[in-house]
Chain A
Amino acid sequence: MIAALRLFALLFVVLTLIYLVLSFLLRQTAQREARETWEALDTRIDWETYLERQMKSYNRAMRRRLIFGVYILPTAFLAAIVYFVNFA
C-alpha cells in the first residue's frame, strides 16, 4: 500500500512539472503565432487587445486538453499495463 502511495505521489509531482513546462511552452508558441497573424492582418486593433482576446479562448481549450493529456492519459496507460500484465 505504502509503495503504491509513494508511486502515485511521485507520479503526481512529475506530471505536474510536465504540465507546467508544457503549458508554458505551448503558450509561447500560441503567442508567437498570434503575433504573426496580427502582423499579417494589419488591423487597427492594438496588439494587447488582440492578444488578450486570442489567449482567452486558447487558454480554455488548452487547459482541458492539457489536463487530459498529462494527467488522465498516463494514468490510463498505467492502468492498462496493470491489466495486461496481471489479468490478461
Chain B
Amino acid sequence: MRYVKWTFLAVIAIAIFLFFNYTLPDRDVVRIVETEVRRVDFGENSVFWAQPDVGAGASGGSRDVRFINAVAENGAIRVYRNEDTGWGWPPYFKLDSSNLQTEAADLVSTSANPQWVVITHYGWRAEIFSAFPNAVAVRAVDTPDVRLIPYFNIGLIVVLLGVVFWLWRVWDRFRQARIEPIVDNITIAIDNADERADNFRERLLSRFRKKK
C-alpha cells in the first residue's frame, strides 16, 4: 500500500515539474540562420501550438506560422516558432510576434561572421510531435559566453513555494482545531468497544474453563 501512495505522489511531482519546465521562460544563446513562414496543419500535436495573431480570426485546422531557425554555439540546431499567445495561456501576453520576427530577421548572420543572440522562449522542442518552443524575445549579445541567471524563474518559484507553505499552515491549523478532536473521539470510541468485546470474550472463556 505504501508503494501506491509514493508512486501517486511521485507522479504528481513529476507532472508539476513538467508543467513548470514547459511554461517558464528559458534562454538560449544562438546564431540565427534564417526566419521563415510555414504553413502548419494541426493534428494531434495542436496542444503544442498557440493562438493565431491577436485580433485575427479563428484559424481552423491550419495556419501560417512564423519560424526562427537558429544554431547554438556547439552546433546544435534550435528551431523556434514565433506565435502570439494573445490573452490566452501561457500568460506571456505576447502580442508583437511580427515585430519579433523583424528583430530576428535583422540579426541573421553567417557562421563566418556570427552575430550571437539570446532568445527567450518557452516550450519544448519535441521532434516526435513536431513541437517547437515559442520565442518570446530576442536580444543581441557580443559573445556567446554570457552568464544568464534566471531571476524571474527563481523569484516566481520562491513566491509560489511561500504560498504553498502558507496554505499548508492554514490547513494544518484547521485540521488541529476541528478534525483531530473528532478523530480522537472516534479512536476512543473504538478502543472502548474493543475493551468491552475483550471483556465479554474473557467472561465466556472463563466459564468454559471452570466447567473443565
Contacts and interface: CB of A to CB of B under 8 A. Distances in A.
Interface in B55-91: 55, 86-88, 91
Contact of B94 (A4, A7, A86): A86
A3 B86 contact: yes
Given A25-B170, A85-B137, A3 B88 contact: yes
Interface in A67-88: 78, 81-82, 85-87
Main secondary structure of the interface of B (DSSP, over half): loop
Interface residues of A, number: 12
B82 to A, nearest CB: 13
Main secondary structure of the interface of A (DSSP, over half): helix
Contact of B87 (A3, A85, A86, A87): A3
A81 B87 contact: no
B14 to A, nearest CB: 27
Nearest to B93: A82
A1 interface: yes
Q: Considering residues A4, A81, A82, A86, which has the most beta carbons from chain B within 10 angstroms of its beta carbon?
A: A86
A6 interface: yes
Contacts of B87: 3-4, 6-7
Nearest to A82: B93
A81 B88 contact: no
Interface of A: 1, 3-4, 6-7, 25, 78, 81-82, 85-87
Interface of B: 54-55, 86-88, 91-96, 99, 136-137, 170
Closest 8 CB pairs between A and B?
A7-B87, A3-B87, A86-B96, A82-B93, A4-B87, A86-B95, A81-B93, A85-B94
